[in-house]
With several copies, the nearest count.
Chain A
Amino acid sequence: MKILYFAWVRERIGREAEEIELPGDVRTVGDLAAFLATRGEGYAHAFENPKVVRAALDRTHARPDTPLGTAREIAFFPPMTGG
């Protein structure tokens, strides 16, 4: 699955995007965030407060309990501050 990071999530993880093979027990957006948090210090820092990290699945806002299903792209980012 293609994973994208933006703003301080991107900065803490130290990359903009990556392709990851997901373990079978990662079924939801929240599962994936928890899995990523175990991948190293930067990841742990990015996801230290999972409530403030938002996600979009195939470019649509998603919630922690949204199933990943057959989505091809997921993005993690802080609350939006545009406008």
Chain B
Amino acid sequence: MSTAPLFTVRIQAEDFDAATEAAALTRGRTDIGAVVTFAGLCRADDAPGGAPLIALTLEHYPGMAEEEMARLVEEARARWPLTGATVIHRYGRMVPGDNIVLVVTASSHRAAAFEAAAFLMDWLKTRAPFWKMEEREQERSWVAAKESDDDAAERWG
């Protein structure tokens, strides 16, 4: 039985498979009680009343994004007793319904897995160097950062 902690961050253009990533954290182990998986998807209805979204293009800072995501995972490990975590962020053009981001956390206890996953998502939103450009009918624009995201990140102190 392997009990080595498993921590992975990945930035990729291609889609991910949440189930494969979650299975990689638990395979052959009997010390994990809770696995939380968060998948963030591209939505069509981001601007009610406005033109529907055609696509999002995710730009990132290739040198820094992976390093920053690794720092976020280190911070999560320092705060919660995790047996593993996987964070994957896609870049490139995505249409509504497509996966954008995946966070998987595994722990012996559910509270740690839930809190670490929420923490990673909140910090990813405000600290990982990614930017969303929206395409709508006759319009393209950069998504503005949300104050609610800053508030969500700040609750972790």
Asked if chains A and B are in direct contact (CB within 8 A), the reply is yes
Task: Establish whether residues B59 and A80, one from each chain, have CB atoms under 8 Å apart when the complex forms.
Answer: no
The proximity string for A residues 1-15 relative to B, scoring 1 for CB distances below 8 Å and 0 otherwise, is: 000101110000000
The B105-157 residues at the A interface (CB cut-off 8 A) are 121, 124-133, 142-146, 149
Q: Which residues of B contact A83 (CB under 8 A)?
A: 40, 89, 100-101, 121, 124-125, 128, 130, 149
Cross-interface CB contact of A82 among B63, B131, B144, cutoff 8 Å: B131
Given contacts A7-B133, A7-B142, A8-B142, contact A82 B124 (CB under 8 A): yes
Distance in angstroms between the alpha carbons of A61 and B69 in the assembled complex: 12
Residues of B near any A CB (own CB < 8 A): 40, 58-61, 63-64, 67-68, 89, 100-101, 121, 124-133, 142-146, 149
- Interface residues of A, Cβ cutoff 8 Å to B: 4, 6-8, 56, 59-61, 73, 75, 77-83
Asked whether, in the complex, the Cβ of B142 is within 8 Å of the Cβ of A82, the reply is no
User: What residue in chain B is nearest A83 (Cβ atoms)?
Assistant: B125
| 5 closest Cβ pairs, A-B complex | A82-B130, A79-B145, A83-B125, A7-B131, A59-B64
Whether A61 lies near B131 (C-beta < 8 A) is: no
Q: Given known contacts A6-B131, A7-B142, is B125 in contact with A82 (CB within 8 Å)?
A: yes
| Chain A residues near B125 (CB-CB < 8 A) | 80-83
Whether B142 and A59, one on each chain, are in contact in the complex, defined by CB atoms closer than 8 angstroms, is no
Inter-subunit contact B60/A82 (CB<8 Å): yes
Q: Choose from B58, B68, B131 the contact partner of A59 (Cβ within 8 Å).
A: B68
By a CB distance below 8 angstroms, the chain B residues around A78 are 131, 142, 145
Tell me, rounded to whole Å, the shortest Cβ–Cβ distance linking A27 to chain B: 22
How far apart are the CA atoms of A81 and B133 in the complex, in Å? 9
| Cβ contacts under 8 Å, B40 to chain A | 83
